[in-house]
Structure 1
Amino acid sequence: MIGIGLRPVKIGFAQEEKELLLRSLYDYYDQIVSRLELACRPRCSACCTHNVTLTSAEAFYLLKGLRSKGRLDLIDRLKTAATRPRYRPAVTTNELAKICLRGEDPPAEGEHTPGACPFLEDDLCPVYEFRPFACRSFISKVPCPEQGEALIPPHLFTLNTALMQVLEYLDLGGLYGNMIDLILFLEAWENKKEETVPEELLSCHPVPEFAIPPEHDHIVRPAIGRLYRQEVSGKRFIDRLEEIEASLGEEPLSFLTQF
């Protein structure tokens, strides 16, 4: 175990358990989105950029997908993309929530530079079913190229943020950062070519409190509650979540009992 900042990092810790929760959260969110009327269609790749962020649990799952599809050749594209400027977060989602709850100003963020996702092939994603939450949640009710930006219901944007907080929480002991940086590091780590965590990768943090404005609370908080009560291989989602936390020596977060 190593430390980044004030948080311990234990790469690969509880990987199978985290994948169970990750897939459960993905399925839960995909069911929500499937009920919406969206403009998103195959080959609508305006949102598919090299600025995607994810957790190490998501990156491990994506690497698993590359292997299962026999597409580890795509790693070479990441290496090429890594030579170009891209967005690198200054803080994690839960760190940002904590800063805002304190009434402090967040640090300056990195720039979202133009550039397509290196995985794209003919405007399609070859690892679509393994894509991270950032990709799943970038949806729009109008065509982005025509309107110049996405249109997402405000309460859904809040739910997306809350679920990103849960994703970070379930990957305690893991890392967060740009997809290119994180996948390349974990691929090298798995092959025992790299052990030192690059400074551009951040450690995952617990949820300080969910960033839910009052006007969305009646929609978003029950939605999180339904996720937490969802059964995952014979146990509730929240129980598995707390088991991961406890095995790292963390105290369960008391406010989560309200769910």
Structure 2
Amino acid sequence: MCREQCLALAGLYAAHARVTAGYRFACRAGCATCCSVNVVLTSLEAEYLRQAPAWQDPALAVEVHRAAAQPHYTPACSTNLVAACCLAGREPPPDPSPHRPGACPLLDERGLCRVYDHRPLACRAMASTRPCAEGGEAVMDPFLFTLNLALCQVIEHLDRDGRTGNLLDMLTRSGPDLPSASLVRNRPLPGFLVPPEEEQRFHAAMDTILAWPVGRGRLGDFLPRLR
């Protein structure tokens, strides 16, 4: 995986933390209701996750392989394909795979993530203003959903020659083994899905994120000009 892509991904994670720092979330260490076997990520994010010190323990890979052997959710298409369909006024492909019960195998016995600093955006984005265990789901500002969706699209664009899939499938495959019926091809960024009433906040947040330094440039250098 290209070093520049991993640097850009790390920059995006840091920028996301900066623009969401003003929110008061209920999420705390050990609160793992949302840490399930249904997490989706790109091959770039999987490569970054593999850099976590905990992943060097072969026992953790064994646990992930054991979980991957059970039935689990697999996405039918990537985020940018869904966005491209919506922007063109078409229905996106159906996503028939059901979400499955089960805790993420990357959690330890205390409910703490063993790869926390290298976790994918799907995990970073799942932040609730109320404990999820109370109502069974996260409660979030709709704007954050819009912003997080856009950043999922940006990550897919960074990894546009890669794949998207369930974390379990992605971590149990690598290199020549990556192409699989359970993984979908990534696509370039087609544009963002932003409600008119959120455009001002969105552009302000994205200006901060795309200006984030990456190497000798900035994160925005990795993206096409869409506005």
TM-score range, shorter chain: over 0.9
- The 2-side partners of 1:21 and 1:254 are apart by 17
- Secondary structure at the aligned position of 1:64 is classed as coil
Tell me the amino acid that sits aligned with residue 63 of structure 2: R
Question: What stretches of structure 1 of length at least 5 have no aligned partner?
Answer: 1-11, 243-252
* Structure 1 residue 254, shift from structure 2 partner: 4.4
Aligned partner of 1:137 in structure 2 is 125
- The 2-side partners of 1:72 and 1:22 are apart by 25
Tell whether the 8 Å contact from 1:53 to 1:179 is kept in structure 2 after alignment: yes
Of residues 77, 86, 89 in structure 1, which corresponds to 2:72? 86
- The 1-side partners of 2:98 and 2:4 are apart by 34
Of residues 152, 168, 176 in structure 2, which corresponds to 1:164? 152
Aligned partner of 1:112 in structure 2 is 99
Aligned partner of 2:41 in structure 1 is 54
- Secondary structure at the aligned position of 1:185 is classed as coil
- The 1-side partners of 2:83 and 2:157 are apart by 12
Tell whether the 8 Å contact from 1:94 to 1:208 is kept in structure 2 after alignment: yes
TM-score normalized with structure 1 length: 0.82
Question: What do the CA deviations read for 1:1-34 (whole angstroms, capped 9, x no partner)?
Answer: xxxxxxxxxxx3xx21111000000011112233
Aligned partner of 1:245 in structure 2 is none
Within a 5 Å distance, the mapping from 1:1-259 to structure 2 comes to 12=1, 15-66=2-53, 70-109=56-95, 110-121=97-108, 122-186=110-174, 189=175, 194-195=176-177, 197-239=179-221, 241-242=222-223, 253-255=224-226, 258=227
- The 1-side partners of 2:31 and 2:198 are apart by 29
CA 1:196/1:150 → structure 2, altered by over 3 Å: closer, same or farther? closer
TM-score normalized with structure 2 length: 0.94
| Alignment size in residue pairs | 225
Question: What do the CA deviations read for 1:171-228 (whole angstroms, capped 9, x no partner)?
Answer: 1211111111011112xx3xxxx54611111121111110111111111122122222
Larger deviation, residues 70-79 vs 164-173: 70-79
* Structure 1 residue 73, shift from structure 2 partner: 2.1
- The 2-side partners of 1:225 and 1:32 are apart by 10
4+ long deviations beyond 6 Å: none
- The 1-side partners of 2:178 and 2:218 are apart by 35
Question: What stretches of structure 2 of length at least 5 have no aligned partner?
Answer: none
- The 1-side partners of 2:126 and 2:178 are apart by 32
Tell whether the 8 Å contact from 2:16 to 2:209 is kept in structure 1 after alignment: no
Tell whether the 8 Å contact from 2:19 to 2:205 is kept in structure 1 after alignment: no
- The 2-side partners of 1:156 and 1:36 are apart by 10
- The 2-side partners of 1:106 and 1:217 are apart by 23
Identity %: 38
Tell me the amino acid that sits aligned with residue 57 of structure 2: R
